[in-house]
Amino acid sequence: DGREWTVRLLDGVRFHDGSPLDSDDVVSTFELLAAETCTGTSFLCRAVRAHVESVEVVDPLTVRFTVRPPAVAFLADALAQAPILPSDALADALAAFDARLSTVRPAELRAAGRALTGTRGECDTTLWWPVVVERFGCEPPVETVTVAERLDAAGLLPSEPLDLYETQTSVLGGLLHEYRRVAVAQGPERMARALHFLPLAREPIGSGPYRFEDRTDPDTVELVASDDHWGGLAVTPTVTIRWFGWPSNEDSLSAAIRDGELDWVPHGAARSDGPVEPLAWVDSAGLGVVYLALDAAPGSIFEDVRVRIALDRCVDRSDIVAEVTGGGGHIVRSPIHPGSWAFAERDAPAASPDEARRLLEAAGWRMVDGTFQRDGRRLEADLGAHPGPDRWEFLTRLRDAARSCGFNLSVREADITVVVGQEAPLIWRLYDGYLTRWGSLSDPDHAYDAFHRSADPRQGITERSTPWNIMRWSDQIASDALDAGRATHDPAVRFEAYRTFQARLEAEMPVIWGWADGLDAVISPDIRLDGAPLDLSHPRYHAEIESWRLVGP
């Protein structure tokens, strides 16, 4: 059933501290990622919790995973994504941290935090400790002062605020709270809570082609090629990473791009800032698709597939998408990424308002005063969108273009919380269509939660699915294909299943496709891979970064 995976490790791999990478490191890493308090890489933490039921050491170079069904996405979502961490170095770092933290009891940390929370004015907890004491000269509560002094003596009160992973630790009150949570946690949960306080969070130890060399300032890290890497020496000997804190430092990033200070910006570049020369945009669709979900349930205005197809054929979306995304959007007609092995390429039908009107007339609709009517019902629909200039502009342009085909559409901004989770069944009390976004991610099985009939909000939340099929589209053929796609690991069988699924989407049109956002990445055209320019049309263009070489003057 594909639920048990035996993974054999390459012999001779070493971490950058010289210690061997073995099964204990793999198991401890996955236990850390599966911890409920794991937040460092939130998507990966969620993926491991969703997929991994257990992980165990078989021998020093063999690990066995037991995977929760469906197991097909485990390899792409979890196993291939996890950076293996050195268990011995982590254990030693945690032991040293625990020894320092043990100078203050959890109850004292709680009392100090509560006392500080009760203060007002100049001793507000939004202020970092040195600012409170030195600049304002205020007198914090005695309980807080006593604990803070003991933490400071133990080396646990940094001179600068921590703000790793956007936690609360940038303020004293938050730091006391986080320390108490570490102190009372056990096992992998304790490591997960303490991780961003450990030296390894700022000076990481890995096993990749580049090793950490130096942090020249809080926003700059120097990497050097590891001469002990199992795959050989990286082509480029040194790499400098600069952190701009996007979006708070977006202007600084834009200036650095224009001034030629950077060779690669993996994310955060803004097309609205104008030209990026001497760099070039990475011309690939991102991993999220924007589409208008149409209510296909019985009794809705979009119940009839001919009405849905007519709306699709009515509007030429290429110019609309280009304008609302600043040229960065990619036209799509599938939730599966064009770069995926499961993507079934097909020619998109040309927009034709005449064809749209013929479809509606064949379905019994008649034009009255510029709007189609049938059996006393006008072809009217309310469309919603989560606030955002690109989505709002797309909907309004779609509304205006659809008038020529006899549709009378109204558009309103909405709150995304109405659409997801337990409130999803409520969306169709407010709208007939909703502009939403779905991640196409690494494995095509992710389409299951948005398009399978079991994810119809009318089915409610079950252990198997959540109600993200907000189209209320309950199609047996598409659902059977999605079931087949997760029933086997055979790539040929899976490809046929997803080809059937995508063909059914095209035939049934439960959504009006919008676009996939382009990657907000720019890169130097002088970077080469094996002497050739990079293929910037694929989102995994950086898969062999250790073989990149910067050429040119």
Q: What are 93-110's pLDDT values in tens digits?
A: 999 999 999 999 999 999
pLDDT value of position 168: 35
Alpha helices in 339-445 (DSSP H): 353-362, 389-402
What CATH architecture is 4-85? Alpha-Beta Complex (3.90)
Averaged pLDDT for residues 448-474: 76
Report the alpha-carbon distance of residue 117 to residue 144 in Å, rounded. Answer: 10
- Listed residue (362, 366, 380, 357) closest to 302, CA to CA: 380
Arithmetic mean of pLDDT, 128-142: 54
Q: What fold is seen in the domain 285-518?
A: Dipeptide-binding Protein; domain 3 (3.10.105)
Segment 309-338 shows an average pLDDT of 93
Residue 331 confidence (pLDDT) above 70: yes
pLDDT at 239 over 80: yes
pLDDT higher than 50, residue 165? no
Instruction: Please check the confidence at residue 171 and state whether its pLDDT lies above 80.
Output: no
Q: Give which of 439, 438, 501, 443 is closest to 475, Cα–Cα.
A: 501
541-553 pLDDT per residue, tens: 888 999 999 997 5
Question: pLDDT of 242-266, one tens digit each?
Answer: 988 755 567 888 888 888 899 999 9
pLDDT, residue 164, reads 40
DSSP 135: I
Read off the pLDDT of each residue in 421-448 and give the average, rounded to a whole number.
78
State pLDDT tens for residues 18-45. Answer: 999 999 999 999 999 999 988 767 788 9
Which residue did the predictor score with more confidence, 316 or 40?
Answer: 316
Q: Enumerate residues 6+ apart whose C-beta is below 8 A from 266.
A: 521, 542
Regarding predicted confidence, which is higher, 136 or 305? Answer: 305
Beta bridge partners of 294: 433
CA dihedral 496, 501, 504, 509 (to 10 degrees): -150
Tokens found for residue 99:
């020894």
Considering the chain, tell me which residue range(s) the CATH 3.90.76.10 domain(s) occupy.
4-85
Region 520-539: what's the mean pLDDT?
Answer: 90
Q: Which two tokens stand for residue 518?
A: 């382009």
pLDDT at 539 (0 to 100): 81
Pairing of strands 380-385, 408-413: parallel
Model confidence pLDDT, tens digit, residues 381-404: 999 987 778 889 999 999 999 999
Given a contact cutoff of 8 angstroms between Cβ atoms, the answer to whether 420 and 446 are in contact is no
The distance of Cα 271 from the centroid of its chain, to the nearest Å, equals 20
pLDDT on residue 422: 46
Query: For position 69, what pLDDT does the model report?
Result: 87
Tell me, what's the pLDDT at 419? 55
Query: Under a CB-based contact definition with an 8 Å cutoff, are residues 38 and 76 in contact?
Result: no
Mean pLDDT of 417-445: 74
Contact 55, 30 (CB under 8 A): yes
pLDDT band at 444 (very low <50, low <70, confident <90, very high): very high
- The residue written with tokens 């293929």 in the block is 535
The DSSP string of 229-289 is -TT---SSSEEEEE---TTTTHHHHHHHHHTT--SEESS---GGG---TTSEE---EEEEE
The SS3 assignment for 212 reads strand
For residues 294 and 432, give the distance between their C-alpha atoms in angstroms, rounded to a whole number. 6
Amino acid at 65: F
Task: Compute the distance between CA of residue 325 and CA of residue 271 in angstroms, rounded to an integer.
Answer: 9
Rounded to the nearest integer, the mean pLDDT of the chain is 87
pLDDT bucket at 267, cuts 50 / 70 / 90: confident
Q: Which amino acid is at 377?
A: R
Separation CA 189–CA 174 (nearest Å): 18
> What are the angstrom distances between the C-alpha of 419 and each of 148, 220, 303, 366, 381?
45, 40, 19, 33, 17
Res 461 pLDDT > 60: no
The number of beta carbons lying within 10 Å of the beta carbon of residue 236 is 18
Give bridge partners of residue 382 from the DSSP assignment.
Answer: 410
Under 8 Å between Cβ of 379 and 365: yes
Burial (CB count <10 Å: 0-12, 13-18, 19+), residue 69: middle
| CATH 3.10.105.10, the chain: domain bounds | 285-518
- Is 303 exposed, middle or buried, given 0-12, 13-18 or 19+ CB atoms closer than 10 A? middle
The answer to whether the pTM exceeds 0.75 is yes
pLDDT at residue 135 is higher than 60: no
CA 56 to each of CA 23, 196, 232: distance values in angstroms, whole numbers, following the listed order:
8, 25, 30
What pLDDT is attached to residue 218? Answer: 77
pLDDT, tens only, 43-92: 889 899 989 999 999 999 999 999 998 889 999 999 999 999 999 999 99
For 122, the 3-state DSSP assignment is helix
Output the CA–CA distances (angstroms, integers) from residue 68 to 71, 74, 142, 529, in the order listed.
6, 9, 51, 38
- Using pLDDT thresholds of 50, 70 and 90, give the confidence band for residue 132: very low
Helix 491-508 with 476-485: angle, nearest 10 deg? 160
> Do 325 and 544 contact (CB within 8 A), yes or no?
no
At 176 the pLDDT is 86
Interacting residues of 515 by C-beta distance below 8 A, sequence separation 6+ = 289, 290, 317, 321, 325, 329, 330, 331, 332
Q: Please state, in angstroms and rounded to a whole number, the distance separating the CA atoms of residues 416 and 431.
A: 13
- Other C-beta atoms closer than 10 Å to the C-beta of 155 total 10
At 212-236, the pLDDT tens digits run 999 878 789 999 999 999 999 999 9
pLDDT score at 119:
52
The residue type at 4: E
Residue 371 above 90 pLDDT? yes
At residue 330, φ and ψ (nearest 5 deg) are -115, 125
What pLDDT does 186 receive?
93
Could you give the angle at the alpha carbon of 430 between the alpha carbons of 424 and 431, nearest 5°?
A: 90
